[in-house]
Amino acid sequence: MKEKILRIIEKNSKITPEELAIMLGCSAQEVEAALAEMEIDKVICGYPTLIDWDKISGEKITALIEVKVTPQRGQGFDRIAERIFKFDEVETVYLMSGGFDLTVIIRGKSMREVAGFVSEKLAPMEAILSTATHFVLKRYKENGIVMQNDEQDERMIVSP
Amino acid sequence: MRDPLNKKIVGIKPSGIRKFFDIVSEMKDAISLGVGEPDFETPWHIREEGIYSLEKGRTYYSSNAGIKELRVEICRYLKRRFDLEYDPLKETLVTIGGSEAIDMALRVMLEKGDEVILPQPSYVSYEPCIVMAGGTPVIVELKEEDDFKLTREELLAAITDKTKILILPFPNNPTGSVMSREELAPLVDVIIEKDLFVISDEIYAELTYGEKHVSIASFPGMKERTIVINGFSKSYAMTGWRLGYAVGPEVIIKQMLKLHQFAIMCAPTTSQYAAVEALRNGDGDVGMMCEAYDGRRRFLLHELRRMGLSCFEARGAFYVFPCIKSLGMTSEEFATQLLKEEKVAVVPGTAFGDCGEGFLRISYAYSIDKIKVALGRIERFINAHRQ
């Protein structure tokens, strides 16, 4: 049941426990218990909203930064990753295989702000060997949702 | 000038859905729960395979029965999913959707005056196809108290010495009824004893909620007298690709192939290549869609019952079939008024046979958000009209 709940709320976290219960053929209490358990276990880590900020203010800018670091004895990459993800500007941090070590995605008000963060905060960190900053020009799809989706239901309105 | 037309064709009633469609199409902002096709787009990996076949220049006719690769995959799929064994070369025909297969099967089997037992409510094409093939439809009116399943008694009562074919439309459009192995078994003896043939339309076979679909052809003694019809439209959300198939005894398929060859030539080649991909790598898509439909089905049933409509537990396809008799309106009145007052389109049960009177077909091939909005309007309508 947990997996079924997750597959539904992954697409639509606004759905109520009562509605979930109807859809899954169980009681609302069971759904609430499962949700609570998954929240405690951090299977569900939050219920954020996917926002297209471009429609509200053209000022926000997103950058993906490739970071090469020196792993530290005893702590690998975790310590340096933590130092990075604690900044509020940082949205996402991944440890990568391949040509660089960490992907850092940050969001700022302007290119200058992002550049400032990289040069003032990120690059000078002791363990960081190099950074390469890529600015995002357009967001097509995020978390499985197409951002500029103006597709309409093209089916005939009734059919046999 | 002479009458240019064939009287038999002119005499066939236009589909009840068509009539309703004309009213609906004038209303621009109507919400529809009226379609008989999935809301999902064809999964991209399947579409991509169709595009690739075009890029590769596979733009020619295929062999009449369909590309061999596809027929092999169809037979593997039927074995894997429904334990049916067919020869891809002699017992399999790829058609333009399930509809063509229904038409071809009836045309090759019926002689003038042969009777075909047709349970209703059911899909709109069977009756005209029987008539066009020279047969006589014998309607069996399925009942809500039997959950719209065909019973042994009903079957026996409909059989005469002219009966040749039984059409078995399960999982059913429009009722959502399915028939289990236990419910099919009592029919099998009758069919064999009375020497009938069966056209089993299993186009919704993948969309059952609860027990897995059972094909009547999997009963001992039934394979040699059953044409199984299936296709890609519903299970893989491929309605526009127009691709279906029939499997059955070689003697029948051979004649269907002959007709198909003269009337159609072959099913669209692009669609056939896409379908190979669907059968090889599409099980996950089917599972995902089926799970989504099931959630919506429960939601819709729960809400309609909460509004006080009796609604039997549909366990297949993507329709529910609530009873609106308590409101003192005919199906057509209800559907027309609902459209005018609340701008929600549903299909009157009578579009699927006279015995659909008093019922509506509501489709859940829509997102849950859309279903919620439509249900809100239906509830307002019901409250305004409750006597």
Residue A71 and residue A36 share a domain: no
Beta strands A145-146; B197-201: pairing state: unpaired
Test the A interface: residue of B339, B368, B369, B375 with most A CBs within 10 Å: B368
The pLDDT, as a whole number, for residue A2 is 92
Q: Is the pLDDT of residue A138 over 90?
A: no
Residue A104 and residue A36 share a domain: no
Touching A: B residues 329-348, CB under 8 Å: 345, 347
Q: Is the pLDDT of residue B186 over 80?
A: yes
* Torsion angles phi and psi, residue B351, rounded to 5: -65, -15
Q: Is residue A20 part of a domain?
A: yes
Residue A133 and residue A70 share a domain: yes
Residues A41-50: tens digit of each pLDDT:
999 999 999 8
Please tell me which residue, A137 or B216, carries the higher pLDDT value.
Answer: B216
Q: Is the pLDDT of residue A58 over 80?
A: no
Q: Confidence band (pLDDT; 50, 70, 90) for B380?
A: very high
Q: Is the pLDDT of residue A52 over 90?
A: no
Cross-chain residue pair A160–B24, CB shorter than 8 Å? no
Q: Confidence band (pLDDT; 50, 70, 90) for B22?
A: confident
Residue A135 and residue A59 share a domain: yes
Q: Is residue A153 part of a domain?
A: no
The pLDDT, as a whole number, for residue A1 is 87
CB of B34 within 8 Å of a chain A CB? The answer is: yes
CB of A26 within 8 Å of a chain B CB? The answer is: no
- Which of A53-62, A134-143, B166-175 is predicted with the least confidence, judged by mean pLDDT? A53-62
Residue A94 and residue A19 share a domain: no
Residue A85 and residue A61 share a domain: yes
Q: Is residue A6 part of a domain?
A: yes
The pLDDT, as a whole number, for residue B259 is 97
Rounded to a whole number of angstroms, the distance from the CA of B263 to the nearest CA of chain A is 24
Name every chain B residue with its beta carbon within 8 A of the beta carbon of A155.
Answer: 32, 35, 37, 39
3 state SS of A83:
helix
Is CATH 3.90.1150.10 correct for B7-42+284-382? yes
Per the structure, the count of domains in chain A is 2
The pLDDT, as a whole number, for residue A158 is 85
Q: How many whole angstroms separate alpha carbon B223 and alpha carbon B86? A: 9
Name every chain B residue with its beta carbon within 8 A of the beta carbon of A153.
Answer: 32, 39
Range of the domain at A75: 53-139
CB of A56 within 8 Å of a chain B CB? The answer is: no
Q: Is residue A35 part of a domain?
A: yes
Closest Cα partner for B216 from B233, B234, B229, B207? B229
Residue A58 and residue A26 share a domain: no
Range(s) within chain B of domains with CATH label 3.40.640.10: 44-281
Q: Is residue A126 part of a domain?
A: yes
Q: How far is CA B114 from CA B226, B235, B376, B379, in A?
A: 17, 33, 48, 46
Residue A99 and residue A67 share a domain: yes
- Chain B residue with minimal CA distance to A19? B299
3 state SS of A109:
coil
What are the residues facing A145 on neighbouring strands?
Answer: A142
Is CATH 1.10.600.10 correct for B44-281? no
Range(s) within chain B of domains with CATH label 3.90.1150.10: 7-42+284-382
What are the residues facing B31 on neighbouring strands?
Answer: B344
Closest Cα partner for A117 from A70, A141, A154, A84? A84
Cross-chain residue pair A160–B351, CB shorter than 8 Å? yes
Residue A91 and residue A17 share a domain: no
Complex ipTM value: 0.80
Q: Between B32, B173, B368, which is nearest A158 by CB?
A: B32
Q: Is residue A111 part of a domain?
A: yes
